[in-house]
Every structure is written in C-alpha cells, then in structure tokens.
Amino acid sequence: MHPCISYNKSMKTHTAVIHRTTSQMGMYSITLVVDGSLAFTPGQYLAANMQDDRSAVLPEILYIEKVFGREVTLCPRTLDGWRPGQAVFYRGPLGKGVRIPQFSKWMALISLDDNPARMLSLAAYGSENGLDMVMAGDWVANAKISGDIPASIELAPLSQIQELTSWADFIFFDVPHSQLQSLGKLTQSIPALLRPGFAQVLIHTPMPCIGIAECGICAVKTRRGYILACQDGPVFDLLEISFL
Ligand code: FES
C-alpha cells in the first residue's frame, strides 16, 4: 500500500454552492462559497462533483485561482452544466503546490499548454508581493486569452525562453503530461534551467482517483522512481523529473 493512502482515505468531503461563473480567457471560472475559510498554495486543487450529477463518477480537478473570504475562485476551464446556485461536493485543497523562493523578485511563468489558466494563482501571488513578472507561451498570440492577463504582467512568446532564463530568478512551468518530452528538450538546450531551486513545474495530468484507489494513472517518472502527481505533485522541482 502506498504510504499516503491512509491520508487520502481520511480526506473529508465538503459542500459548497456555486456563487457565480465568469467568462475568462475564453473559458469559465467558477466561484464557490464555502463554509469557513480555505488556505491554499498556488498549484493546489480541489476535486469536485456536482451534487445532483449522479452520472459523474470521477471528480473534476479544479485548480484554485484565489480565495477571498468564503469565496473560492477556480481557474477557468470548460465545465458544461455548472451553474450558479448549484451545490457541489469537494475535497481539498489537495496535492503539493509551489514552494516559492523567499527572495524571488523576477518571476517567469511559462505555459507549454494552449492556455495559462493554471498559473493565475501564482500570478496573483506575484502581484500581491510586488514581483516583476513575465508570462510566456504560444498562447500569447490569442487575444481572447492574453487580453485577460493583468496589464502589469509582461507577455512573451515561447521563443524568448532563453532570454527569460537569463532575466528571471525563478521560473514556473505549466506543462500537460503529454508535453513533458518538450520540456525535456528545453532543459537540454538551456542547461541553466537546471540550476538548483531555479525552476518548478506543474504537471497537468488526469487524476481520476486523487490517490484513493492508487490507480497510478497520474504517475510521473522522477529521479527517485515513479511518484503520484495527485499526492506528491502536481508541482515538482524541475530537477526532480526524469526525462529519460
Ligand atoms: S493514484 Fe489515481 S489519480 Fe493519482
């Protein structure tokens, strides 16, 4: 049995209500009203089901964008049928989030996906703490997405990653599991990315059981063997990942 399984079996399920949905980056962000307060680290997620959708066996994985009082806003994504007033069950915050370097001043947020939504919580942290930030990816050419990025954050195409590596003191990647090999090629062409403590990666991967059944579908190959993104991630140190 995986050592974390007892922890996950004790995960509590909570109930919340969808307060509003907001069009953002060409998708919808959902704001829940929860009981009490919810503390989270950028990169952590909720596993949620609509209360009245009995056909949905697997939870939706919803990354947290921000928390304001009892309101929890989730990163934009496509979710059919989720409407204000509906009740949802959720567990979380789950997983391990970003370990932000204490003295970071220049942060580059680079998404290899076609949408940087999962990086919004870290961008909000950077804004609150006065960090200079650049967000980069091929998605910057899409005005529907880039138009919703705060004006205080500079945008850059992925082709400028070499320059960003020289400028930043911390780099955060958002990478779908299917694009891990692309990230591996980047680390080969820019060895400076592998400086200790310099870069972390959110690996976006299906997490159907969130650790409860140890399905292994979310496993990520690391230098210490395969580990589960649902529990030991989804944020990893770049140095930890094995691209072999
Ligand atoms: S072990 Fe099943 S989702 Fe991680």
The encoded tokens of residue 220 equal: 């990520």
Q: Is the CB of 228 under 6 A from ligand 1?
A: yes
Mean pLDDT of 77-103: 90
Match 């195409």 to its residue by tokens: 157
Atom number of ligand 1 nearest to Cα 231: 4
Q: Each residue of 98-121: pLDDT tens digit? A: 998 888 999 999 999 999 999 999
Q: How far is CA 110 from CA 113, 152, 175, 224, in A?
A: 9, 16, 9, 25
Q: What is the pLDDT of residue 161?
A: 94
3-state DSSP assignment of residue 127 = helix
Tell me, in angstroms, the distance from the centre of ligand 1 to residue 189's CA. 32
Among 230, 232, 236, the mutation site with the greatest number of ligand 1 atoms within 8 A of its Cβ is 230
Q: What is the pLDDT of residue 2?
A: 33
- Residue owning the nearest CA to atom 3 of ligand 1: 207
DSSP-derived letter for residue 11 is P
Asked whether the predicted pLDDT for residue 31 surpasses 80, the reply is: yes
Tell me, in angstroms, the distance from the centre of ligand 1 to residue 48's CA. 15
Q: What is the pLDDT of residue 101?
A: 85
Q: What is the pLDDT of residue 54?
A: 62
Q: What is the pLDDT of residue 144?
A: 92
Atom number of ligand 1 nearest to Cα 219: 4
Distance CA 197, CA 186 (A): 17
Q: Is the CB of 208 under 6 A from ligand 1?
A: yes
Domains and CATH numbers, the chain: 5-94 (2.40.30.10), 106-240 (3.40.50)
Q: What is the pLDDT of residue 3?
A: 31
Mean pLDDT of 95-99: 94
Distance CA 65, CA 72 (A): 8
Per-residue pLDDT band at 78 (split at 50, 70, 90): confident
Q: What is the mean pLDDT of the chain?
A: 90
Asked whether the predicted pLDDT for residue 8 surpasses 60, the reply is: no
Tell me, in angstroms, the distance from the centre of ligand 1 to residue 145's CA. 30
Q: What is the pLDDT of residue 219?
A: 95
Atom number of ligand 1 nearest to Cα 230: 4
Strands (E), the chain: 14-24, 27-33, 45-50, 60-68, 71-77, 87-94, 106-111, 132-136, 154-156, 170-176, 199-204, 219-222, 225-228, 235-237
Q: Each residue of 33-63: pLDDT tens digit? A: 999 889 999 999 999 998 876 666 788 999 9
Mean pLDDT of 178-194: 93
CB 34 within 8 A of CB 73: no
Distance CA 60, CA 89 (A): 10
Among 8, 215, 232, 236, the mutation site with the greatest number of ligand 1 atoms within 8 A of its Cβ is 215
Tell me, in angstroms, the distance from the centre of ligand 1 to residue 106's CA. 34
Per-residue pLDDT band at 1 (split at 50, 70, 90): very low
3-state DSSP assignment of residue 233 = coil
Q: Can you say how many angstroms the Cα of residue 18 is from the centroid of all Cα atoms in its chain?
A: 20
Q: Is the CB of 209 under 6 A from ligand 1?
A: yes
Q: What is the pLDDT of residue 143?
A: 94
Task: Report the predicted TM-score, pTM, of the whole model to 2 decimal places.
Answer: 0.91
Report which of 107, 115, 173, 172 is spatially closest to residue 147, judged by C-alpha positions.
115
CB atoms within 10 A of CB 127: 13
Per-residue pLDDT band at 184 (split at 50, 70, 90): very high
Asked whether the predicted pLDDT for residue 228 surpasses 60, the reply is: yes
Q: Which residue has the higher pLDDT, 5 or 119?
A: 119
- Residues near 106 by Cβ (< 8 Å), separated by ≥ 6? 131, 132, 133, 167, 168, 169, 170
